[in-house]
Amino acid sequence: MLRNKLLIAITIVCLFISIGGHAACKGLVSLAALNKANPEAASVDYCNNFASSSGISDECALNSAAVSPINKAIRKYKVASRGEIVATLAWMLYESDNWKYNINHFPGNIGQGTRTMMSWNYVSQYAKQLHPNEYEQAVGSSGDDVSSANNSTKTAVIDLVLNNDDSFGAGFWYLTTQAPSFHNNPSKLRDGNMQDFQEYVQSGIVTSWNSDREAIWTTVNDAIVF
């Protein structure tokens, strides 16, 4: 009964938003689509198998855990373009190795992480924006000079944003706040345009392009349907 009422309420809100022209409900990612984009993490055994082979037991996530945080972030940062959503998912899948990792292990940079594997410079800004009070406590006397933070400070700060909502939201935060010229721009991250993704990787994320990124983008682009 409550479930039905909720569904009706969500449908009405979706209709309302669609009429407003934002296509917010149309633009959400379904679990079926995410399972197609990242088939390994559709299996319930995925994280257990990864934990036994790697010894890393607290970082892996299934698609079923990722889907709600991803959709919350899509709404929170108002990312409605399919090209932007595909790019952000492809980025996070590449960096986290299909949701296996939440922090950097190779080589093991302290303070680098989330599903985007953002460097400490971005992680600290992200944590500060999302959790300002906890952030102030975590940085202590090192204050806003993030370059001087020691390893224990970095660990305390990154721990604030490793929860699923924040970690899977990181790519959407980055796009809209750190690379805003790629967001809602009719000539960037166009729907189905791999060259646009390559440009985002190189000039927006500012990292190197390779064939694995292209392969993941292609799989995600085929999987995500609105």
Ligand X SMILES: *[C@@H]1O[C@H](CO)[C@@H](O)[C@H](O)[C@H]1NC(C)=O
Q: Which residue lies nearer to ligand X by CB, 143 or 180?
A: 143
- Of 43, 150, 187, 202, the one binding ligand X by CB under 6 A: 150
Q: Is 52 helix (H, G, I), strand (E, B) or coil?
A: helix
Counting contacts by CB under 6 A, is residue 133 touching ligand X?
no
| Region of 27-35, 69-77, 140-148, 175-183 interacting with ligand X (CB under 6 A) | 140-148
Counting contacts by CB under 6 A, is residue 134 touching ligand X?
no
Number of alpha carbons in the 13 Å side-chain half-sphere of residue 143: 2
How many distinct helices (H) and strands (E) make up the chain? 11, 0
| Region of 41-49, 70-78, 90-98, 150-158 interacting with ligand X (CB under 6 A) | 150-158
**Contacts of ligand X in 5-64 (CB under 6 A):** none
Q: Is 212 helix (H, G, I), strand (E, B) or coil?
A: helix
- How far is it, in rounded angstroms, from Cα 214 to Cα 226? 21
- Of 10, 140, 144, 225, the one binding ligand X by CB under 6 A: 140
Q: Which residue lies nearer to ligand X by CB, 120 or 174?
A: 120
CB 48 within 8 A of CB 62: no
As a 3-state breakdown, the chain gives helix, strand, coil percent values, each rounded to 5, of: 65, 0, 35
| Region of 48-56, 95-103, 147-155, 157-165 interacting with ligand X (CB under 6 A) | 147-155
Closest by Cα among 75, 169, 167, 165 to 112? 167
- Of 119, 142, 163, 184, the one binding ligand X by CB under 6 A: 142
- Of 55, 108, 132, 186, the one binding ligand X by CB under 6 A: 108
Gap between the terminal Cα atoms of the chain: 28
Residues that bind ligand X (CB under 6 A): 108, 110, 140-142, 150-153
